[in-house]
Structure 1
Amino acid sequence: MANRGLDAEQLYRRCVPESLPFETTAEVEPLEDGRLGQSRAVQALRFGVGIEHPGYNIFALGPPGTGKFPLARHFLTRRAESRPAPPDWIYVYNFEHPERPRAIRLPAGMGLRLRQDMEQLVEELRPALSSAFESEEYQARRQAIEEEFRERSNRAFTELRRKAQERGLALLQTPMGWVFAPLRGGQVLSPEDLQALPEAERRRIEEEVERLQQELQQVLAQMPRWQREMQRSLRELNREVTNFAVGARIEDLQEKYAKFAAVVEHLDAVRRDIVRHAREFLSSGGEAQEPAGGDRSQPPPARRYRVNLLVDNSETDYAPVVYEDNPTYQNLLGRVEYVSQMGALITDFNLIRPGALHRANGGYLILDARRLLTQPFAWEGLKRALRSRQLRIESPGQAMGLISTISLEPEPVPLDVKVVLLGDRLLYYLLSALDPEFGQLFKVAADFSEELERTEENQLLYARLIAAITRREGLMPFDRTGVARIIEHTSRLVGDAGRLSIHLESIAEVLRESDYWARENGNGAVTAADVQRAIDARIRRSDRLRERIQEEILRGTILIDTAGERVGQVNGLSVIELGGFAFGRPNRITARVRLGRGEVVDIEREVKLSGPIHSKGVLILAGFLGARYASERPLSLSASLVFEQSYSGVEGDSASSAELYALLSAIAGVPVKQSLAVTGSVNQHGDIQAIGGVNEKIEGFFDICRERGLTGEQGVIIPASNVQHLMLKQEVVEAVRAGRFHVYPVERVDEGIELLTGLPAGERDESGGYPEGTVNGMVERRLAELSRKLRQSSPPRAPEESEEEEQR
C-alpha cells in the first residue's frame, strides 16, 4: 500500500481575493441583523415571539458569542413596535386593610398624572384645612357647641344648688369631688357643730343629703353623655368644615378620573380619611413622625394619600423589551424596602419597588440563564410567576414559608410577559432532564449554530457581516485581501476547511485588532497583512506555555525522538487548550508485552490519570487484538501502555491508534520510525476514525521537527476523514510543497503500520495465515508462541478436567 501523502493544496483551502466583487467593505451592503447561518434559530424566534399562548417562552441555546442576545433583541424589538404601550401600575393605601396595598391599572401615562394630582392635593390640604379651621365662622360655631355643653351642666348644678339651699344645705366642690354640707345663718356647719345638733335634726339633714346625693349622681352620670354629644357635634362640625375645604378638590379629581372606578373609589376613601384625621393632619403637618410607643402600623397622613407609581409607561411608545443583567429574586419580582425609625424598621406602600418582570409586563424580558440559576430562589420565583401569571411581591423567606413576621402583602399584579432565556446547550438539556416544569414553561428552543457551510454565496454574506461589524464599531474598511484572510481564519477557528465560524465575538475581536495594526501601519484599509499580524500577535500573547514545552523538548528534558527507529515506541499527539488558546504537543507512547492472560494494562488508568474515554480506547485495543490474531486461541500476553512523562490527566481516544501501533511493534519486535507522529482513533475492526484538533496536532510536531531541522522524512499520520478539516499554517504548507514534511492520511490500521515500519502489513492467504515478513504475520506468530509457552508453564490438569474441557 503506497501512501504518497497529501499535496500542499489539500492542507489549506484558500479564499481567492479576486473572487470577492468589491475593493473594500465600504462598498458592501452590511448584514445588519446578524442572521448569517442562523436560519433554524431565526425560525424558532419568529415562532416563539409570534405565538401568544401561555408557556411558549423561549430558550435561546448555543455557545456564548454566537449573537443570541442581539438577534433575540432584534426580533423582540420588531414585534414590540407593533404592540401598544402597556398600562401603568400604581399602588395606593388600603384604608380598610393597611397591610394589603391596592394595585390599580391605568392607561400608559395616566399613573404619572394621578401621582402628580395627588401630590398637589396633599400640598393644598394643610393650607386649605388651616384656613377653614381658623375661620371666624368655624370658631363661632365651635364655641357655640362648647357653650351649649357648659350651659347645660351649669343649669343642672344651679338647680341642684337651689334645691340644696331650700333644704338648708350647700353644694360644695372639693378635691375629693362634690359634697353637700348643712347651713346655719348662711354658714357651713363644722363637724363639731353638726354633732351638737339634736338627733332628729341630724337625721333629717342626713336624709336630705342622701336624696340630693342621688340627684347629684344622676347629674354626674349625664355629664359623659353630654360630653359625647358635644364631641359628636364637634366632629360633625369638623366633618362639615373639612368637606367644605377639600370636597371640591376631590370631586374635581373624581370627575377627571371618572372612567376609572378604582380611582374614584380610592378618592372616596381618601376623602373619608381626611375627614376622620383632619385635626391629626393639621397638628403633624402630614409628615410628622409617629411618637414613641405610637401606632406605627399606619404611615403619616400625607403619605397615605400619595400614589406609588410602580410602573410608569408615560414615555413608552410601544411594548417594552427589558434585559435584566443581575436577575436576583428581588430584581426580578420586586421588593418592599424598609427605613429605620427610632430603632425600628418600618415600611409602607410607598416603599414597594418594581422588579424586571413589572417593567417588562405587557412586553418581553431577556435573561441570562446561568446568572438566573446561580441566584438563590430566583429560578423558582420566575417559574411561580409564569405559572400563576401573577406578580406577587414578597420576600424569599415569605415565599418559602420560612418567616412569619408581619409585613406588607401587596395585591398581586396580573402578568403578561414573554421571557427569553439565553444559555448554553448543556444548561438547556440539564433543565429539560431535571426540571419537569421547564418544558411546560419554555416550549420554544432557538438553537444557535456556531458554524456555517463555506460556499461562495456564504463567503459573500460573510463579507457583508464584516461590513456590518466594522461600521457598527467604527473600524476601518477591510479590503478584499483582508476579508479573504478573515474567512480563512474563521475556517481555522472552527477546525474545518469546509465551514466558517459564526462566533460573532471571536470575529469582532480579530476585526478590532486588525484595525489597530492597520492604523499603526498608516493604511487606508485593513489588508491581509494586518489581519495576519493581528492573528500572530494574539498567538504570541498566549503561547508562553507552548514555547516552554517546545523548549523542554528541544533541550531533551521531555523525551521526543524525531529520527531513528524504536521498538514499541510511537510519537502520539495531543492538544492542550488554556484560556482559549489551543496548541499541539507530541507525547511519547510506549508499550511493553510479556506472557500473560490477555490483559492490556493502561498505566494511566491504574493510577487514575486516565479519563473514561481514554480508558475505553485502550480496552478497544484488546478487542481488536483478540479478534484479529487470537480468535481461536487464548490471547496469552500481558501488555502495558503509558504516556511517558505525563504528569496530569489524559482524556480522549485520539491516541488509541498510536497506542495500537506501539503495541503491534512491541509484540512483533518491529521498530517504528520516530520521524513520524500519529493521531487518530481506532475501532475494534481496525478502522481509523476522525479526531479533533488535527491542525494543532500536526503543527505541534512540525514545530519540533523544524527546530531540529527538517529532513524530508518527518511527517504526521492522520485519519483520512480529517483531511477535510485541514487549515494548516503556511509554514507547514510550504514545507510539504517542498517535500521536507509530509501529512499521510490513513483509513485502516494496516496503512499506518506500513508507514511506520516500512514493512507490508500483510493479508491472510487462502490457508488463513499471514505471509512471512509481514507485520501481521509476525504479530500472529508471536502471540501463538506466547500461547504455547503459557500452556507449557501451566500446571498439569487432572484427566477428568481434560475430558470436561474437551467436551466443552
Structure 2
Amino acid sequence: MTKLKPIAPAPLDASRLYTLCDPESFPFTETGQLDPLEDFIGQDRAVAAVRFAMDMDHHGYNLFALGPQGTGKQSLVRRFLEQTADSRPVPGDWCYVHNFDDPHKPRAISLPASQGQPLVRDMDGLIEDLRSALPAAFEGETFQNHQQAIEDEYKKHQEDRFSGFQDQAAERDVALLRTPMGLALAPLKDGEVLSSDDFKALPEEDQDHYRRRMADFQSRLEEMMAEMPRWEKEKREKLRALTKETTQLAVGHLIDALREKWADRAQVLTHLETVRDQVVEDPRDFLPLPDGSPEEAAGRGASLRRFKVNLLVDNGGPRRGAPVVEEEHPTLGNLLGRVEQVAQQGTLMTDFNLIKPGALHRANGGFLILDARRLLMQPLAWEALKRALRGDRIRIESAAEAWGFAGTVTLEPEPIPLDVKVVLVGDPMLHYLLSAHDPEFAELFKVAADFDDRMPRTEEYIRHYARLIAGVCNKEKLPHLDAAAVARVIEQCARLAGDSERLSAHMSSIVDLVREAAYWARSGDRELIGAEQIQQAIDAREFRSDRIRDRIQEEIARGTLLVETEGARVGQVNGLAVLQMNDFAFGKPSRISARVRPGRGEVIDIEREVALGGPLHSKGVLILASFLNHRYGADRPLSLAATLVFEQSYGGIEGDSASSTELYVLLSAIAEIPIKQGLAVTGSVDSFGRVQAIGGVNEKIEGFFDVCKAKGLTGEQGVLIPAANVKHLMLRHDVVAAAREGRFHIYPVETIDEGIERLTGIPAGQPDDDGDYPLTSVNRAVGTRLQRMARRMQDRERSAPPIQVTMG
C-alpha cells in the first residue's frame, strides 16, 4: 500500500493573525510634540489631478473628484482651491441697470473689484440731488419768468387775433359773443345785438344780407379756431424747450461730475448719458407730487427705482484672490440666479433691482464646488450648469422658462460672461454613470481626481498619520494621544482597510475615533488619550451597532439557527458570510448542505432556482461544476444529480466566496466522507481547483469564533481561509489569544485538495501516471462513487422498456 503524503496546511502562528504597531519605534511620547500635518496623505494621484485641473485654463478642464465618502476629498479639494485662488486676481464686480430702450431686458455692467459699491452710492446720490435740484430749478425766478412770458405771449397773441376778428366783424354789423356753449356770431344794428324776434322782424332782404355776412365770418372764425391747437402746440413746445433747457442746466453739472469720475468705464458713461437723456426728456419723476393718492406716491417710488444700480456681485472689501464658492443646495435659482417678484396692489411686479445672483455669479472668476448627487437631484440644475459651461455665460432663467411654460411677462437680464472652474464631488458610481450616459460630461469635465480609500502601511505614512492626529487634536482642542494610543489607531486603520499591509484613507472614521476616545479620556479625567481609551471607543462603537449580530449569535447558541461546532457530518459544512449594516460589518456562519444521486451531471443551485442567488454566486456554482467535470468526468460523463443549498437562509445570496465551501460539501456528499463540523470555510475556487482570495476575512473568522466560543472551544475548531488572505488578517485580540493558546486555528489553503484533506482528515490523494488516485484518498472515493452511479444509470437505461411508436 502506498503511503500518502499529507498536504493539509498547518495552522497559522498567532503572530501572523495581527500585525502590531510598536509604539517604541515612534520618536515621540505624545502627539502634542509633533508639528500638525497640513497636507493630505495617501492621495498622490488625486492631488496630481487636482493640481493639473487648476493649472489648465482651457475650456472643459473642470474637475470631478470621485471617491468613497469620508476620504476627505471635499476638504482636500477646497484647500487646494483656496491655495490656488490666493495667487489669482480678484474678479470684477457686476451690476444690472435699467434698460430705458427695452425695460424687460436689463443691461449688465462690468466693473473692477470694489467699484460696484461706489457706483451704487453715486447713482443713489444722483437721485437725491436731482430730487432737490430740479424742484429748485423749476421753482426759481428765471424759470417762472420765462414760463410766464411764454404764457403771456400766447395769451396776447390769442387776444390780438380775437380782438382783430371782433373789430372786423363789428364793422360789418356782426357781433362775436362768448356763450356757455362757446363762441357764437350774432347780427348787430346800431351797435346793438339783435334779438331773435327783432331779427325776424327785419325785411327778408336784410335777413339774407346778415346771413351772408355771418356765414362769411363763421368760416373765418372756424379757420381761426382751427389754428388754436397749433398755437397751443407751439406754446407747449416752447414750454417743453424751456423745461429741457432748465433740466439740462440743473442735471448737466451733476452728470458731468459723474462722467469725470467714471471716465475710464465706457459702460458707465453710456448709462449716464442714457440717464441724462431720460431725465431731460421727462423730469416729472423728480418733481414734488401734488396732493395725490398713495397709489400715485407708490408709482413715483417705483419710477425712481429705474435710476438705481443693482449690485449683483460685490468683490470689494477685504477679499484676497479669486472666490471659492461651495453651494450646498444647488437648485436652478441658487445656481444661475433668479428674478424675484413683489406683490403690489394684488399684482406680482418685478424690475431689475430684484435680480438676485446665483452661485455661478459669486464664483465667476474663481472656483465653484458642487456635490454631484445633490446637483443631479435638483430638476433642471444639471442641464442649466452644462449650458452655462458650454456657452461660457450665465443666463438667468426660471424653471417655467426652462420648461417652456412661462405665461407671464418677466425680465430677460443680459447674460454675463462666465469664467469659472467647476469641481463636482461625488461617488465613483456617479462619475461612471455620467461618463457612460451623458455625452457632454466628458467634454465639460475632462479631469477626474480619483481618491483612494487606503494607503501603504509604511513608516513614512505612519508618521504622517501621527501628525494628522496632532492636527485634529489642536484644531478641535482635544487631549493629545500618547505613543501607545497612536499605535492602536494605526492598527485600527489597518483593520478598517482590511489589510495588515495597508492603512485606511477614510479620514472621517479616524477623526471620529479620536473624538470618541477623547470623550472617554475626559470621562476618566485623563490628560492624554491612551490605548485603553482608543480600545474603549472602538468597543463602544461596536456595541452601539451590533444588536443584529448579537441576536444572530443568540439564536445560534439557543439552537434556533443550526450551526454545529463539533463532530462530523456527510454533505454538511459551515460556510461564512458577511453582513453589512450601515458602517458595521460582521460574520455570519451558515450551514451549507449537499445531496447527490444518480443523474445526468446536473448540479442544481437551489438558491438560483428560487431567485435568491445573485449572478456572482451562480457563477461560482458553475465554476465548481466545471472543476468536477474536468477532474472526474474527463473520460466519462458525470452520472450524478446534486443539489446545493444554504440552510435556514431567508434572503438573497451574492458573491462567489462560498464556491470552495460548496465544492467541499459536494465532494463530501459524493464520497460519503464526513466533514469536521468544528471547521468553517471561506474562499472562492477557480476551474483548476485553486482557492482564491475573498473579502471580509476578519469578520468571517470572528463570526465563527464567537459561535465556537459560545458553545465551548475544544481546541479542534478553526477556519479555512485562502492563503492569499493571510496578509489581510487583523483579527480581534481574543481570537489571536485563543489561537496562541491552541484553542482555535486559522488554516491557509491554496488548493481544494489541501482544504478537503484538512476538513475530512483523509488525504486528498494525487493521481499516478495512469491517472488513478490512491485507494485511501478522498479523490479515489469520489471517483469510485461516481463510477457506481454511472453503472446504475446504465442499468436503468438498459432495463427501461422500449418506446413503441404506432403509425396511424
TM over 0.5: yes
Q: 1:122 to 1:498 in 2, by over 3 A?
A: same
Match of 2:717 among 685, 699, 714: 714
1:804 corresponds to: none
Tell me whether 1:552 sits opposite 2:558 in the alignment: no
Residues in 2 aligned to 1:781 and 1:796: alpha-carbon distance in whole angstroms: 23
Q: CA deviation at 1:3?
A: 2.1
Letter of the 1:122 counterpart: I
Q: CA deviation digits over 1:415-453, x for unaligned, max 9?
A: 111111111111111111111111111111111111010
| Contact 1:288 1:300 (8 Å CA) reproduced | no
Q: CA deviation digits over 1:117-163, x for unaligned, max 9?
A: 11111122212222112222222221221222222222222222222
Tell me whether 1:163 sits opposite 2:168 in the alignment: yes
Tell me whether 1:746 sits opposite 2:749 in the alignment: yes
Tell me whether 1:588 sits opposite 2:591 in the alignment: yes
Aligned length: 797
Tell me whether 1:251 sits opposite 2:256 in the alignment: yes
1:95 corresponds to: 100
SS at match of 1:32: coil
Residues in 2 aligned to 1:783 and 1:197: alpha-carbon distance in whole angstroms: 153
| Contact 1:287 1:303 (8 Å CA) reproduced | no
SS at match of 2:629: helix
1:150 corresponds to: 155
Residues in 2 aligned to 1:642 and 1:284: alpha-carbon distance in whole angstroms: 92
Q: CA deviation at 1:288?
A: 9.4
1:566 corresponds to: 569
1:305 corresponds to: 307
Q: CA deviation at 1:488?
A: 0.1
SS at match of 1:777: helix
Q: CA deviation digits over 1:637-688, x for unaligned, max 9?
A: 2211111111111111111111111111111111111100111111111111
Match of 1:655 among 655, 658, 677: 658
Q: 1:525 to 1:287 in 2, by over 3 A?
A: farther
Letter of the 1:20 counterpart: F
Structure 2 unmatched ranges of 5 or more: 1-6, 804-808
Alignment of 1:162-311 (within 5 A): 162-283=167-288, 300-311=302-313
Q: 1:290 to 1:685 in 2, by over 3 A?
A: farther
Residues in 2 aligned to 1:475 and 1:614: alpha-carbon distance in whole angstroms: 47
Letter of the 2:214 counterpart: V
Residues in 1 aligned to 2:356 and 2:779: alpha-carbon distance in whole angstroms: 78
| Contact 1:33 1:74 (8 Å CA) reproduced | no
Residues in 1 aligned to 2:455 and 2:713: alpha-carbon distance in whole angstroms: 36
Q: CA deviation digits over 1:749-806, x for unaligned, max 9?
A: 1111111111111121222222222111111122222222222223689999xxxxxx
SS at match of 1:216: helix
Alignment of 1:452-467 (within 5 A): 452-467=455-470
1:29 corresponds to: 35
Q: 1:796 to 1:707 in 2, by over 3 A?
A: closer
Residues in 1 aligned to 2:501 and 2:780: alpha-carbon distance in whole angstroms: 40
Q: CA deviation at 1:175?
A: 4.0
Tell me whether 1:783 sits opposite 2:789 in the alignment: no
Tell me whether 1:428 sits opposite 2:431 in the alignment: yes
| Contact 1:604 1:650 (8 Å CA) reproduced | yes
| Contact 1:289 1:300 (8 Å CA) reproduced | no
Tell me whether 1:480 sits opposite 2:483 in the alignment: yes
Residues in 2 aligned to 1:286 and 1:597: alpha-carbon distance in whole angstroms: 106
Residues in 1 aligned to 2:291 and 2:672: alpha-carbon distance in whole angstroms: 101
Q: 1:288 to 1:131 in 2, by over 3 A?
A: farther
2:9 corresponds to: 3
Q: CA deviation at 1:253?
A: 0.5
Structure 1 unmatched ranges of 5 or more: 801-808
Residues in 1 aligned to 2:638 and 2:291: alpha-carbon distance in whole angstroms: 97
Residues in 1 aligned to 2:155 and 2:272: alpha-carbon distance in whole angstroms: 38
Q: CA deviation at 1:259?
A: 0.7
Q: CA deviation at 1:200?
A: 1.6
Alignment of 1:395-474 (within 5 A): 395-403=398-406, 405-474=408-477
Q: Indicate the larger mover: 249-258 or 315-324.
A: 315-324
Q: Indicate the larger mover: 726-735 or 763-772.
A: 763-772
Q: CA deviation at 1:94?
A: 1.0
Alignment of 1:283-682 (within 5 A): 283=288, 300-315=302-317, 316-403=319-406, 405-682=408-685
SS at match of 1:80: helix
Q: CA deviation at 1:314?
A: 0.9
Q: CA deviation at 1:456?
A: 1.8
Tell me whether 1:117 sits opposite 2:122 in the alignment: yes
Tell me whether 1:19 sits opposite 2:25 in the alignment: yes
Tell me whether 1:792 sits opposite 2:795 in the alignment: yes
Q: CA deviation at 1:38?
A: 0.9
Q: CA deviation at 1:92?
A: 0.8
Residues in 2 aligned to 1:232 and 1:688: alpha-carbon distance in whole angstroms: 103
Residues in 1 aligned to 2:180 and 2:793: alpha-carbon distance in whole angstroms: 127
| Contact 1:100 1:410 (8 Å CA) reproduced | yes
Q: CA deviation at 1:176?
A: 3.6
Residues in 2 aligned to 1:205 and 1:797: alpha-carbon distance in whole angstroms: 146
Q: CA deviation digits over 1:446-483, x for unaligned, max 9?
A: 11111010112221121111112211221111110000
| Contact 2:135 2:288 (8 Å CA) reproduced | no
Residues in 1 aligned to 2:225 and 2:786: alpha-carbon distance in whole angstroms: 127
Residues in 1 aligned to 2:790 and 2:625: alpha-carbon distance in whole angstroms: 15
Q: CA deviation digits over 1:600-654, x for unaligned, max 9?
A: 1111111111111111111222211111111222222221111111111111111
Residues in 1 aligned to 2:489 and 2:767: alpha-carbon distance in whole angstroms: 51
Overall identity of the aligned pairs, in % = 57
| Contact 1:126 1:285 (8 Å CA) reproduced | no
Residues in 1 aligned to 2:728 and 2:348: alpha-carbon distance in whole angstroms: 66
Letter of the 1:309 counterpart: L
Residues in 2 aligned to 1:377 and 1:541: alpha-carbon distance in whole angstroms: 41
Residues in 1 aligned to 2:295 and 2:70: alpha-carbon distance in whole angstroms: 55
Letter of the 2:677 counterpart: Q
SS at match of 2:287: helix
Q: CA deviation at 1:276?
A: 2.1
Q: Indicate the larger mover: 392-401 or 579-588.
A: 392-401
| Contact 2:556 2:562 (8 Å CA) reproduced | yes
SS at match of 1:427: helix
Q: CA deviation at 1:289?
A: 7.7
Q: CA deviation digits over 1:682-730, x for unaligned, max 9?
A: 1111111111000000000001111111100110000000000000000
Residues in 2 aligned to 1:764 and 1:285: alpha-carbon distance in whole angstroms: 116
| Contact 2:100 2:274 (8 Å CA) reproduced | yes
Letter of the 2:602 counterpart: E
Q: CA deviation at 1:104?
A: 0.9
Q: CA deviation at 1:285?
A: 10
1:805 corresponds to: none
Letter of the 2:315 counterpart: N
Q: CA deviation digits over 1:87-130, x for unaligned, max 9?
A: 11111111111111111111111111010111111122212222
Letter of the 2:117 counterpart: L
Q: CA deviation at 1:54?
A: 1.2
Residues in 2 aligned to 1:734 and 1:329: alpha-carbon distance in whole angstroms: 59
Q: CA deviation at 1:177?
A: 3.3
**TM-score w.r.t. structure 1 length?**
0.96
Q: CA deviation at 1:185?
A: 4.4
Residues in 2 aligned to 1:173 and 1:662: alpha-carbon distance in whole angstroms: 128
1:46 corresponds to: 51
SS at match of 1:794: helix
Letter of the 1:311 counterpart: V
